[in-house]
Amino acid sequence: MAAGTLNDIANAVTAIMADVATDSGKVISSAPTHFGRDFRITPGEARFQDRIVQERDYGHSNALHRRAIVVIEIHHYITGPGDEGTFHKTTMGYAADRFLDPNMWEAESGIFSLQPGIDVELSDGERVGNVITFEFTASILLNAV
């Protein structure tokens, strides 16, 4: 089995976000930067960022596996009360279905799994002005399936 790379995780996140966009009917583009929020986002627009950081190896199933912490932020510019509710029910609902499902990580990539005993975390939405941001955090084992 080929060893997974941090770039493979980024590609898997992009593919998952494409699925979320298709299912929700909402265009979700990649933010121009993976760090900071100093990019422009226009009314009704949604963007995502991913930050993937290599961590210490993790002993699992009598082997050491490379491990990475993956943070995915989804930002949406709210255009009104109805827009916020729709975003919560559709886009964030579909994203949560994907990112909170432990089996999804393996199914999407074929080379990753969640670190045993650590669930994916979903933050409460943080709203700054008209932009609401949600964050998923996962501890991923590379080449673990």
Query: Do 138 and 105 touch, CB atoms closer than 8 A?
Result: yes
Pairing of strands 131-142, 112-114: antiparallel
- Tell me the CATH number of domain 6-142, given options 3.30.2000, 3.30.1360, 1.10.287, 2.30.30: 3.30.2000
Residue 91 CB contacts under 8 Å (≥ 6 apart), including other chains = 20, 24, 26, 28, 46, 74, 76
108 vs 9: which has the higher pLDDT: 9
60 vs 87: which has the higher pLDDT: 87
CB-CB neighbours of 58 under 10 Å: 18
- Could you tell me the pLDDT band of residue 134, with boundaries at 50, 70 and 90? very high
Average pLDDT over residues 129-139: 91
> CA of 61: how far to CAs of 35, 65, 112, 144, in Å?
34, 9, 14, 9
1-10: pLDDT as tens digits: 345 788 888 8
Rg (CA), the chain: 16
**3-state DSSP call for residue 58?**
strand
What pLDDT shows up at residue 101?
Answer: 86
23-76: pLDDT as tens digits: 888 889 888 877 777 788 888 889 999 999 988 888 867 878 888 999 999 999
Q: Is 143's pLDDT higher than 50? A: yes
